[in-house]
Structure 1
Amino acid sequence: MNYEFTIIIPVYNEEDNLERVEKELLHYLGISTKNTKVLFVNDGSKDNSQALIEAICLRNEAFNYIKFRQNKGLSAAIKAGFDHTDTPLVGYIDSDLQTSPEDFNLLLEHIGAYDLVTGVRADRKDSFIKNASSSIANSIRRSFTNDGMDDTGCPLKVIKTDYAKRIPMFKGLHRFLPAMILLQNGSVVQIPIRHFPRMAGQAKFGLWNRLLGPLMDCFAYLWMKKKYINYEVEKIG
């Protein structure tokens, strides 16, 4: 099949969610507006996630996987997915499925006019502390990046692959993807999507890596922005 869109699914100790991931992604492949395939990135899981991923991929031709030797974090998993994508469009969704694969179609409606389309979680189903810390972190990040985005931590995005592959990734950069597209003179937009409570497994982010960690990452972004190389080739001879 001539695939057009790759969905990256980072996985770290999500054995209780993976059968539901298979079911919902298979449903989405049947209604997607693009020919779509799925790429699991197992970020060094220590539970039974890898065995489940391999069984899913054996059952489904459009599913493939990458397995890390050690846990390297969400940004590393996303980067690996970008590196191994061979379709014009790439996106990602968390394996906890607090966002719905069906909402990729909402984002794909706009990707022709933009280089990154990100979801904004409407009516978030998280705790007060999680929502408040995320809101504060987003406000701080916007003051550093001026990217205009309200919810860069939303785990539902679609990006044109050539832009995604040019992003110089570092730990924590998954919150700065719109800003990194803007550094490439690309265009970004945010679209409201649905949000659901976590049904199984454990959240991987606490107060530190949802609030204090991103504040430190903002300074790394400012350094990168100052040093970033961006050019356009006018002519080759």
Structure 2
Amino acid sequence: MQRSLTVSMPAFNEAENIPGMVADVLRVMPQLANEFELIVVDDGSRDETAVVTQQLARQHPQLKLVQHGENKGYGTAVLTGLTHASKELVFFTDADRQFDLAEIEKLLAHIETADLVVGYRAPRRDPFMRRLNGKGWSWLVTLLFGYTARDIDCAFKLMRREVIARLQNDIGSGGATFSAEFLVRAKQAGFKIVEVPIEGHRPRVAGNPTGANLRVITRAFKELMQFRLGLWREAKLTVKSGVNSEQGTAA
């Protein structure tokens, strides 16, 4: 089994979950990759997330901590982890232990014929309002950009490192809109996307989610509209550039 894999995860106030999450990765990864690393991005946590991760890193050389001096948002933390990856394949998930990591094997089964393999929670084991909000968000993203994935914000995605290299400088969303923008731009760039059902989604047992925070929601809608307007502007510039090129050729 010749496979190198980065596992990357953003973490904000996840000190309670980090030890178990690291243990999960160290248990699962040796069965799936002959070479792997784990990157934890501490996004300006106010608890002991960084301290706990540093302590574990002293025991496990595969573990690396990347820190943001202040909370920059979910999307920025995810992108930081992806761009720090050094392995051939890059997988990202959240640090909240809501997924059975053994199901990465389902994604790996498709990566030979795809550029990006995205999971969808089947079923999603979150409170009713979070599930409802998630469906509404996916509907809105699909309305504005067309279909990309059935579970846009599912934090269980595997990709080739070249996908990150191609998209990293184009991503403008640093908050919850990140996943939507990443998928839309990946689709526009012509990368092949495959969807896989993930059955091992579990209720959160420690820590507190931030998705329902009013500031997070406001930022998400603002970034979504900025992204939509930005794509329209990009399309106009492309058309204008094409017209100018034709005129120059004709002259």
Scaled by the length of structure 2, the TM-score of the pair is 0.84
**1:220 and 2:226 aligned:** yes
Counterpart residue number, 2:207: 201
Counterpart residue number, 1:191: 196
Q: Secondary structure at the match of 2:80?
A: helix
Give how far 1:92 is off.
Answer: 0.6
Give the letter for the 2:46 counterpart.
Answer: K
Whole-angstrom CA distance in 2 between matches of 1:10 and 1:34: 24
Give how far 1:35 is off.
Answer: 2.8
Whole-angstrom CA distance in 1 between matches of 2:33 and 2:64: 20
Whole-angstrom CA distance in 1 between matches of 2:134 and 2:34: 32
Give the helix-richer structure, 1 or 2.
2
Q: 1:106-131 CA distances to partner (integer Å, 9 max, x unpaired)?
A: 11111121111111001111111110
Q: Secondary structure at the match of 1:166?
A: helix
Total equivalences in the alignment? 229
State which drifts further: 189-198 or 146-155: 146-155
> 1:131 and 1:81, CA in 2 relative to 1: closer, same or farther beyond 3 A?
same
Q: Secondary structure at the match of 2:133?
A: helix
> 1:146 and 1:164, CA in 2 relative to 1: closer, same or farther beyond 3 A?
same
Where does 1:51-66 land on structure 2 (aligned, <5 Å)?
Answer: 51-66=51-66
> 1:174 and 1:124, CA in 2 relative to 1: closer, same or farther beyond 3 A?
same
Whole-angstrom CA distance in 2 between matches of 1:72 and 1:121: 26
Q: Secondary structure at the match of 2:111?
A: coil
> 1:190 and 1:208, CA in 2 relative to 1: closer, same or farther beyond 3 A?
farther
Counterpart residue number, 2:96: 96
Counterpart residue number, 1:235: none
**Which has the greater radius of gyration?**
2
Counterpart residue number, 1:129: 129
Give the letter for the 2:207 counterpart.
Answer: G
Give the letter for the 2:189 counterpart.
Answer: Q
Q: Cα RMSD over matched residues? A: 2.2
Whole-angstrom CA distance in 1 between matches of 2:133 and 2:193: 24
**1:140 and 2:145 aligned:** no
**1:159 and 2:159 aligned:** yes
Whole-angstrom CA distance in 2 between matches of 1:137 and 1:211: 10
Give the letter for the 2:9 counterpart.
Answer: I
> 1:192 and 1:148, CA in 2 relative to 1: closer, same or farther beyond 3 A?
same
Task: Tell me, yes or no, if the aligned pair for 2:50 and 2:65 is still in contact at 8 Å.
Answer: no
Whole-angstrom CA distance in 1 between matches of 2:34 and 2:147: 28
Whole-angstrom CA distance in 2 between matches of 1:34 and 1:144: 41
**Percent of pairs with identical residues:** 21
Give the letter for the 2:83 counterpart.
Answer: D
Give the letter for the 1:196 counterpart.
Answer: R
Give how far 1:212 is off.
Answer: 5.9
Give how far 1:222 is off.
Answer: 2.3
Whole-angstrom CA distance in 2 between matches of 1:225 and 1:86: 30
Give how far 1:208 is off.
Answer: 4.3
Whole-angstrom CA distance in 2 between matches of 1:122 and 1:137: 17
Give the letter for the 1:88 counterpart.
Answer: E
Structure 1 unmatched ranges of 5 or more: 231-237
